[in-house]
């Protein structure tokens, strides 16, 4: 099966190479969708991703989709424009499906605003993410709990992966994420996370 991997904010496809290798070992064909928030607008990124999904749809075979953090939200946005795509499963790794507090805090910093542009504004908006349509395809939510918890933490005692809090992961109240004691930025490198992604593509 073809599996498209979409990296997170200010990362590159290189961050997904290890996960792609695990998927290829399981017999899948992997592809990457690169994007650069510093160099292109969010609408342009989304248009390019929609075009890529339409290319996959023309093949007429089921595909797997994996998005890390913002990559999961980009896939959610693009999927609504390509209902003909036969998706076996969408896997979201540490994706904030509710407005992330860390982005709201970070948007106060000039460097964050400069580096993330449209994408940063999107993440920091309290209206944008809740306005996204729910995925009309099977999906799996993978979340981390490796972040610090305590009185000086943005998340207090709430489990988190250092960037995204547990309450920011679900799309619906009934969603049941799969939890791992991992850090947000490198969760895709964890062997147990990789095994879960691979299993999602064959279940």
Say whether pLDDT at 203 is over 80. no
Per the rule left: phi > 0, alpha: psi between -120 and 50, beta: everything else, 117 is left
Ordered by where they begin, the domains of the chain are: 2-200 (3.40.50.1820)
Does residue 52 surpass a pLDDT of 80?
yes
Distance CA 120, CA 10 (A): 10
Q: What is the pLDDT of residues 135-192, one digit of tens each?
A: 999 999 999 999 999 999 999 999 999 999 999 999 999 999 999 999 999 999 999 9
Query: What pLDDT is attached to residue 62?
Result: 97
What's the rounded Cα separation, in Å, for the pair 147 and 134?
Answer: 27
Tally of CB atoms within 10 A around 158: 15
Q: Could you write out the DSSP letters of every residue in 67-125?
A: EETHHHHHHHHHHTT-TT--EEEEEEES--SS--HHHHHHTTSHHHHHHHHHHHHHHH-
Average pLDDT of the chain is 97
Residue 135 to residue 114: CA distance in whole angstroms: 30
pLDDT at 41 over 80: yes
The reported pTM is 0.97
What residue has token string 């940063």?
120
């Amino acid at each position: 099966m073809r599996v498209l991997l979409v990296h997170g904010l200010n990362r590159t496809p290189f961050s997904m190479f290890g996960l792609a290798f695990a998927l290829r070992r399981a017999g899948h064909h992997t592809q990457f969708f690169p994007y650069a928030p510093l160099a292109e607008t969010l609408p342009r990124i989304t248009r390019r991703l929609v075009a890529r999904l339409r290319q996959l749809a023309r093949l007429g075979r089921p595909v797997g989709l994996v998005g890390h953090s913002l990559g999961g939200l980009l896939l959610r946005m693009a999927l609504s424009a390509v209902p003909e795509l036969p998706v076996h499963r969408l896997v979201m790794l540490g994706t904030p499906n509710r407005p992330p507090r860390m982005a709201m805090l970070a948007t106060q910093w000039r460097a964050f605003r400069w580096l993330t542009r449209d994408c940063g504004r999107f993440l920091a908006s309290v209206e944008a993410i809740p306005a996204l349509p729910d995925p009309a395809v099977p999906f799996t939510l993978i979340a981390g709990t490796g972040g610090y918890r305590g009185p000086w933490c943005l998340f207090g005692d709430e489990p988190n992966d250092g960037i995204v809090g547990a309450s920011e992961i679900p799309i619906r109240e009934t969603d049941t994420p799969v939890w791992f004691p991992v850090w947000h930025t490198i969760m895709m490198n964890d062997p147990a996370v990789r095994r879960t992604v691979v299993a999602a593509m064959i279940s």
